[in-house]
Structure 1
Amino acid sequence: MFSYELERKVETEIREEERDSRALHDRLMVRLSAGSDLIDSFEVIADELSQIVASDGVAVFSEGRYTARGSAPTAEEFKRLARFLNTAPTGTIFATNSLIENYPDAEAIGDRVAGLIAVPISRTPRDYIVFFRHEIARSVRWAGNPEKPVEVGPNGTRLTPRKSFEAWTEMVRHTAAPWSESELRAAEALRISLIEIVLKLTDEANADRKAAAEKQELLIAELNHRVRNILNLIQGLVSQSKAGTTSIETYTKVLDGRIQSLARAHDQLTRQAWAPSALRELIGVEVNAFLNGQKDRLAISGDAPMLAPEAFSTMALVVHELVTNSAKYGALTDRSGRVSIDLEIAGDGALLIKWREQGGPPVQAPTRRGFGSTIIDRTVPFELNGKVETRFKLAGFEADIMIPSKFVSEGTHAEVESPDAEVAVDTKGRGALSGTVLVLEDNMVVALDASDIITAQGASAVKLASSVADALEIIANEEIALAVLDINLGDQTSLPVAQKLDAMKIPFVLATGYGDVESILTEYPKAPVVQKPFNSESLPREIYKALAMVE
């Protein structure tokens, strides 16, 4: 009967321990699955753990971070202890009530730790939850000296009764209270629970990484698609712009204008994070170069439409061709002409654009169809499924353009502010550019293009550098008159070179392909900035601004 009652009592205690362990498991699962890690949740978890295993201190070592409460080693002491714990068998807890018997360096922490239970919660790297108990000095009474050597009696080395049964007393040190079977079972249950949680979190992390990788692949594919489209577009512009040009100079100027128009449109789109952008701003930027400070020559009336990115790039080319044709043959050829543009968002959401020119020379319909006219007449219908109607009236050119509603949204109604007029390049009286010019650029094609433009301005030599170290070496060995510095050089910026030039009072121009560089420029010495892609007009303009700043 006693044996039966004892067994039932033990089983009851085990079931209670299992119930408490499951409850702890559930609480830990809820807390850690919500995104909190063991270190961040340590204070709350420590209270939970102390209810399962009685201890004088508890610590968590996870992903190289350590935190503890109560009687426990310091972080540096535990790192040495962890190297010892890593030698223990994997997949099980390590428990001892006399650490010094297994770990000689335990004497250094003996004032706080004598015994421990280490619960591994990962495999690689080995992370732990550790329970500590401090020393309990105790007196052990033996029936005799347990270390007494064997004595040879009259019958040899045979056992003989002791001569004395006096008690032998010994003081035992560096020993903690033993861990009970129930505490060891609780620690093992904790290990299993935490391993399960870690595996769950690992699976979630792997799923997140997989989703992130798939998203990255999608973004790379989209970027590749857009780059290919842009390259195809540039290839088409290069090929089609030859039509109607009578010289290399004319061809270069026409092609430059179209590429610059696309670049300005993309700058505006990136400033808007590839969101719908204002058509009024696009028109203002394009027309500004031909206004010569006379803002009254452009009148924009009606609504303030926003165009989706796919429509905005298309309209950038269309507006550029409208402005260019007006500057060549229409109202913007002289100071008396005017251009009026009415923007109306119709009831069905479509955008109606009415382009009207007045006051220019008499207009005649072209005898041949050029690429510019093709862009105006066919791009919107072909790419946006819209409509375009053009009329070459004697009093002035007219165009009616309809853009479908899916590309149009209504923005805030504001007056278009024309950007400041560009400073014209004036080399008269300057003797043109002279001396050696440094070009710091990590793209060889762009560097060669800049070199050709600078040489055409009169520079006697152009030194090319692709890194900060190369540029600083050239500055140290050459007499530099001016420099053109790309801001972003891949894994570094040109800031050290700019600072060196500024200290030497050497003028320089900063070049960038980013639309918004205000946050970057705050670190740089003050200097003109040219946007990429630059051309034979924009780069010299900024060069002479830089020269003027040091005169």
Structure 2
Amino acid sequence: MTKSSFPASGGDHLDLLLATSEIGIWELDAATGKALRNLRHDQIFGHDQLLDHWSGDVFLTYVVEEDRKRVGALLNASLTDGEPWSFETRIRRADGVDRWISAKGVPKFSETGEVTKLIGHVIDITATKLTEDRLRLLSKELNHRVANTFTIMNSMIRHASKKANTVDQLALTLMERLAALARSNKVLVAEEAERSSLHDILKMELEAFLGWQKRISISGKLHIWFSGEASEALALIFHELLTNAVKHGALSVPSGRVNLTVEECPDRRVKINWVETGGPSLVGDRRTGIGSTILQNAMRDEGTVKLDFAAEGLKCDIVINDSFRREAPDIPEPVAPAREDQPIADDGAFSGQRIMVVEDDPIIGLDISDILKSRGAQVIGPFTNVASALKAIRDKPDAVLLDVNLGQETTDVVASQLSDLSIPFLVLSGQFDSSDLGAAFKGVTLMSKPFRERDLVAAVHRLL
């Protein structure tokens, strides 16, 4: 058999490689200081055509001032000492646009060991640098939010413990406020992670008060976008207002209503007015608890929240400063109506049902098991890895609650086998969008963590 190989020059293939990889190549003559380049090289620096002249000194004029001395020193070291030339730097192109480049060069020597020229390449790495900056920002923001969340939780426990008369009352208060934090987090980690619309914030909060939505009227522009900090603050504010209205205010009696109006001011401030009518008379001198504290301090220095405990009903005026707003396309969309909330299932509702739990977190697994067992279910598990879950499926449980990620494993294969055996299952995951899951989870019901006991029980009822 005759062997074949590319020609030693490989010219056509090298040209193809350079063209498709958008690499600029250059060759700098050490004696004259002049440089040869390809067209892509000069395009990286903002020129549509090759310039008549290029040199190391010309190149340094494009390097931003704060990097110029460092890059120049590297160039001199390469020319005088024969050191490889490798660096990343920012440049300002001929059209005034700032970009990031990565450049590498190696020296070529004469027979006497002197540097005769440098050859190398240059690549535009702006997209990579922006991604790195984005990841650093997200990491910093995540650390900040986690620290703040734990601090908020500590405050909630401390304040709620002062007002609760029973352990059950304390637990209920804490679960409600933690759920509010979780809902605000859902808004913040949606597609627009750095901003959320007033529409989305209200929709998320109202979903937790389904039985009262028909008595809440909303008017004004809702597709106003706010920063992550403002979105979190507004989510907590609306939760406290809704909770107070249901427990003590207008929504605590059948005749009560809440009117919420939104006004966009000429100076770009946003005014939100919450007015309760038809409820029980309020006492003007109210003790300040954590709810009032959250309301009055949530906007920090970027807005104000004023409470008026008028006899005819609570009034709350919220003002959000322009600094908390973010730009986004304004797409009109009304708040979607929600179904009436379902009553929580009685004890014994799952009597005789064999329900399998697949969850790697021991605390969450224990909590789910307790919820199911308290209603008469026979709980199988919890299983914390795929192998044990697959083995347990052979006994064909009546339903399965399935986490997506088990440590380093995913449960796609478990989901596929459940579908093949026609065993109904509910997916419990920290992910908020089922489209992010694998094909094995297509069409299944997704319940995002954390979840309310009421919602979990209702979802299991629908499975069975």
- Considering the TM-score relative to the shorter chain, is it more than 0.5? yes
Contact 1:527 1:546 in 2 (8 A): no
| % same residue | 30
Whole-angstrom distance in 1 between the partners of 2:208 and 2:134: 42
- Pairwise mapping of residues 443-482 of structure 1 onto structure 2 (< 5 A)? 443-476=361-394, 478=395, 480-482=397-399
Whole-angstrom distance in 1 between the partners of 2:263 and 2:384: 50
Report the alpha carbon displacement of residue 537 of structure 1 after superposing the two structures with TM: 1.7
- Correspondence for 1:267: 186
- Correspondence for 1:442: 360
Whole-angstrom distance in 2 between the partners of 1:215 and 1:386: 28
> Does residue 502 of the first structure (1) align with residue 419 of the second (2)?
yes
Of residues 392, 399, 402, the one that matches 1:485 is 402
Q: Cα 1:211–1:372, aligned 2, differ >3 Å: closer, same or farther? A: closer
Report the alpha carbon displacement of residue 357 of structure 1 after superposing the two structures with TM: 0.5
Aligned-residue CA RMSD (Å): 3.9
Contact 1:438 1:463 in 2 (8 A): yes
- Pairwise mapping of residues 110-509 of structure 1 onto structure 2 (< 5 A)? 197=119, 200=121, 219-292=138-211, 295=214, 297-304=215-222, 305-365=224-284, 367-380=286-299, 383-409=300-326, 412=330, 414-421=332-339, 424-425=342-343, 427=345, 431-476=349-394, 478=395, 480-509=397-426
What secondary structure sits across from 1:539 in the alignment? helix
Task: Give the partner amino acid of 1:374.
Answer: T
Q: Cα 1:241–1:394, aligned 2, differ >3 Å: closer, same or farther? A: same
Q: Deviation per CA, 1:394-425: give whole Å up to 9, x if none.
A: 21110111111101257636353235326525
Report the alpha carbon displacement of residue 462 of structure 1 after superposing the two structures with TM: 4.1
Of residues 504, 514, 518, the one that matches 2:431 is 514
Whole-angstrom distance in 1 between the partners of 2:128 and 2:309: 60
Q: Name stretches of at least 5 consecutive residues in structure 1 with no aligned partner.
A: 1-26, 38-187
Report the alpha carbon displacement of residue 215 of structure 1 after superposing the two structures with TM: 6.7
Q: Deviation per CA, 1:75-100: give whole Å up to 9, x if none.
A: xxxxxxxxxxxxxxxxxxxxxxxxxx
Q: Deviation per CA, 1:116-137: give whole Å up to 9, x if none.
A: xxxxxxxxxxxxxxxxxxxxxx
What is the count of residue pairs matched by the alignment? 365
Higher strand share: 2
Report the alpha carbon displacement of residue 486 of structure 1 after superposing the two structures with TM: 0.8
What secondary structure sits across from 1:511 in the alignment? strand
Q: Cα 1:255–1:429, aligned 2, differ >3 Å: closer, same or farther? A: closer
What secondary structure sits across from 1:292 in the alignment? helix
- Correspondence for 1:533: 450
Of residues 35, 39, 48, the one that matches 2:23 is 35
Report the alpha carbon displacement of residue 263 of structure 1 after superposing the two structures with TM: 1.7
Contact 2:210 2:338 in 1 (8 A): no
Report the alpha carbon displacement of residue 31 of structure 1 after superposing the two structures with TM: 6.3
Contact 1:436 1:462 in 2 (8 A): yes
Task: Give the partner amino acid of 1:458.
Answer: G
Contact 2:348 2:374 in 1 (8 A): no
The more displaced of 495-504 and 535-544 is 495-504
Whole-angstrom distance in 2 between the partners of 1:274 and 1:208: 19
Q: Deviation per CA, 1:274-301: give whole Å up to 9, x if none.
A: 1322213322332344353763x22222
Q: Cα 1:426–1:544, aligned 2, differ >3 Å: closer, same or farther? A: same
Q: Name stretches of at least 5 consecutive residues in structure 2 with no aligned partner.
A: 1-14, 26-109
Q: Cα 1:209–1:300, aligned 2, differ >3 Å: closer, same or farther? A: closer
Report the alpha carbon displacement of residue 379 of structure 1 after superposing the two structures with TM: 2.1
What secondary structure sits across from 1:537 in the alignment? helix
Whole-angstrom distance in 2 between the partners of 1:265 and 1:245: 25
